Structures are given as C-alpha cells and as structure tokens.
Amino acid sequence: LGFLISNFTTLEKYIRRFDAAWQGIAGISPESNPSIEDKRKISSELLDARAIIEESRDGFERIRSIVANLKNFSRIDKGAGFEAFDVNMGIENSLVVGWNEIKYVAEVEKNLGLIPPIRAHGGELNQVFLNILMNAAQAIEGQKRSEKGKIFIETRKETDSVIISIRDDGPGISKEVQSKVFDPFFTTKEPGKGTGLGMSISYDIIVNKHAGSLWLESQKDTGTVFYISLPIAGPLESAAE
C-alpha cells in the first residue's frame, strides 16, 4: 500500500507540472507573432511536457508491476487449494511487498538455489515469508544502528524437501524467549505494534497445513535464523485435491 500511495503521489505531481507547462504554451498564440523569447519558452515547455509524459509512463509501469506482484503474492487469481508453487518466486514477491519497510533498515542478500516447484498453498506460504522478513527488519530497526543491517535468504533442495532459511544480523533472541516464539499472543514488541499471532499462524501454516517444519536458531547479540522445510510433494491429503 505504501508503494502505491507513493507512486500515485508522484503521478499527481507530474500531472500538476504538465498542467502548468500546458498553460504556459496555451498562453502564447501563434497569431500573436511570438517573439524569440516566446518561442524559446514554447520549446522549453514542450520539452518539459515530454519529460513529464515519459516520467508518468514510468510511474504507471511501476504501479502495474506492484499490482502484479501483489496479485502474485496473494495468489488471488489461483484456486484456494494446493497447486504447483515456485518458492523462489514467492520469496521475491514477498520482498517486493515488504520492501518499503525493509529497504530503510537492511540490505538483503539472496542465494536462491535451483529447486523444483512444490505442491503448496502459495498465498499462505508467502504470508509466512513476509512475516519472518518483517520480524527480521523490525528487530534490526529496534537496534537503532547508524548503518543498515543484513538479511540473508537461502533456498535449497534436500532429498524430498525444499529448505528455506531467512537469517538476520539483529539482536538475537534469548533462550528463554525462543521457547515461546510460536506461542499464540506472545510478542516482545511494544504495545500496539504486534498481536503476537504472526509466528503462531506461520507455524500452523507450515507444520499443520503443509506437513513441514519450522524452527529457529539464535544467539543473543548475533542474530536469528528461521528454517522452513517443506515436502516437495506437499502433504499427503493435498493429493486428493
């Protein structure tokens, strides 16, 4: 949503500039035998108008791309059941959706392996990816560093499963808190900034709905890595869908 608002605001600015340029051109009549200065003004205004049109076209293209990524992220054009899902593309779409928050606090490094499509509910997995990415970005932001942090994403095939790891170099999670991370309503965020449901919902999606595994490793003041393991064939009950 932040992306869309930003781009629409930019386009509104371009439209106002175009209107001003057009008014300048319209104010000079060809029948009035315009002076050299007027001709220069017309030429300048036309160049400005052309530049604004090109910038507006780029803005519309960015909006089209954002909407396409949001559509892919939510999988709204797909069925509600299990289907072939490209995990790497899901991660890319999740990064686009969350980029407005991530880009200010962390640099992202990716090592996306050659992995096969898996049978999964893509929209739900994207929700998990985005939740972990947002938690990583918020953990780094909470340190109030002078420089950006790092988020590392890796995917690989391992026997009959696909493994996804999302690691950050944030503050880490204490042993005491680690045992509660997947509990409903548990959160370490300030009041009003978290419901404590994100990781419990993610656990339900991965473990109960996709017959996968979700776990974490963390050291205080070093960072945290979340691992997701998903069967390529999907949960057994999905084969009947």
Q: Please choose, from the candidates 128, 134, 81, the residue with its C-alpha nearest in 3D space to the C-alpha of residue 229.
A: 128
Share of the chain above pLDDT 90, in %: 40
**Is the model's pLDDT at 212 over the cut of 60?**
yes
Q: Tens of pLDDT along 113-146?
A: 999 999 999 888 998 999 999 999 999 998 888 8
Confidence at 105, pLDDT banded by 50, 70, 90: very high
Mean pLDDT of all residues belonging to the chain:
78
User: CA-to-CA distance for 225 and 133, rounded, in angstroms?
Assistant: 11
pLDDT of residue 6: 52
The tokens describing 103, both together, are 């880009």
| CB contact at 8 A, 82 and 234 | yes
Share of the chain above pLDDT 70, in %: 60
For 50-58, which contacts have Cβ atoms below 8 Å and span 24 or more sequence positions?
52/14, 52/17, 52/18, 52/21, 53/18, 55/14, 56/11, 56/14, 56/15, 56/18
Domains of the chain, by residue range, sit at 2-74, 84-240
**Is the model's pLDDT at 178 over the cut of 90?**
no
pLDDT of residue 180: 86
- Average the pLDDT over 20-48 and give the result: 57
CATH class of 84-240: alpha beta
Greater confidence, 203 or 73?
203
Q: Which of 85-94, 147-156, 195-204, 206-215 has the lowest mean pLDDT?
A: 195-204
Type of residue numbered 170:
G
